[in-house]
């Protein structure tokens, strides 16, 4: 029979608008978080990271917000461009000797010109 | 730096055949990861090496999968015998330090494996 694929959350925005991509994590011990961008046919590419002792970090056109109380992470992209169209993954690491990055399911961002 | 280099980019093989995927990590990185990406399960960590030593292979699906890292600049992931359910994109990633201390992993372009 036909297999059921992973249904990615999707976000569609107009070029120039701001985008907000959300991620919930489950491990309260996680102390390091990364956002990755994956374009079609390519490997995940690092965008920005944040440690658990911070609640906000800014990069070029991107901002990551961390709310440890509700275990929620968001990625804000300012002035979204067509080149931002991709799947965005959040990844968490629980620190210490734990090397494992646990990836979320991803969100597909589509930017309409 | 050319980044993490994987080969081949695409592999189509018949069920039962042996498949070998190759990876050259970024020079100077001492951690190497093999991931598998499918629509059903997303990105899964298969195995992790640190300083060429396998640290954790608990993500390797079964005995048909094996990975080696004979030196700091080369790693292989082998599937023998391959099965259609192994069809996926396999990524190699490297990191300059153990990811547990807060360093991102740099991914290669991936190998798209199709087993027919």
Check: CB of residue B34 under 8 Å from CB of residue B90: yes
Among A60-64, A74-78, B27-31, the least confident range: B27-31
Per-residue confidence at A100, pLDDT binned at 50, 70, 90?
confident
**Between residues B97 and A87, the one the model is more confident about:** A87
**Least CB–CB distance from A99: residue in B43, B55, B107:** B55
Q: How far is the C-alpha of B97 from the C-alpha of B112, rounded, in Å?
A: 27
Per-residue confidence at B97, pLDDT binned at 50, 70, 90?
confident
Across the range B58-81, mean pLDDT stands at: 95
Beta bridge partners of A23: A73
A7 touches chain B (CB under 8 A): no
Q: Which residues of A touch B41 (CB under 8 A)?
A: 6
Nearest CA in chain A to B108: A43
Residue B37, pLDDT > 90, answer yes
Q: How far is the C-alpha of A31 from the C-alpha of A95, rounded, in Å?
A: 6
List pLDDT tens digits, range B2-22: 899 999 999 999 999 999 999
Check: CB of residue A65 under 8 Å from CB of residue A56: yes
Secondary element (H or E) of residue B83: none
**In this structure, what token pair is assigned to residue B84?**
């259609």
Per-residue confidence at A2, pLDDT binned at 50, 70, 90?
very low
B99 touches chain A (CB under 8 A): yes
Q: How far is the C-alpha of A87 from the C-alpha of A65, rounded, in Å?
A: 18
Across the range A6-30, mean pLDDT stands at: 90
Cα-Cα-Cα-Cα dihedral sign, residues A42, A48, A50, A55: negative
């Amino acid at each position: 029979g036909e297999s059921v694929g992973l249904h990615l959350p999707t976000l569609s925005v107009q070029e120039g608008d701001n985008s907000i991509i959300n991620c919930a994590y489950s491990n309260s011990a996680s102390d390091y978080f990364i956002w990755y961008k994956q374009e079609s046919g390519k490997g995940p590419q690092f965008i920005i990271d944040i440690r658990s002792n911070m609640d906000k970090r800014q990069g070029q056109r991107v901002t990551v917000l961390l709310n440890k109380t509700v275990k929620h992470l968001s990625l804000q992209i300012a002035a979204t461009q067509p080149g931002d169209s991709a799947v965005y993954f959040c990844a968490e690491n629980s620190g210490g000797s734990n090397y494992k990055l646990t990836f979320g399911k991803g969100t597909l961002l589509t930017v309409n010109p | 730096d050319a980044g993490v280099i994987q080969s081949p980019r695409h592999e189509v093989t018949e069920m039962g055949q042996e498949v070998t995927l190759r990876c050259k990590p970024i020079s100077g990185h001492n951690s190497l990861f093999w991931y598998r990406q499918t629509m059903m399960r997303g990105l899964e960590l298969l195995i992790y090496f640190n300083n060429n030593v396998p640290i954790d292979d608990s993500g390797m699906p079964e005995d048909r999968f094996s990975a080696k890292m004979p030196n700091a600049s080369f790693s292989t992931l082998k599937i023998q015998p391959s099965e259609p359910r192994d069809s996926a994109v396999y990524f190699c990633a490297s990191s300059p330090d153990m990811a547990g201390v807060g360093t991102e992993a740099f991914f290669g372009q991936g190998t798209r494996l199709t087993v027919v």
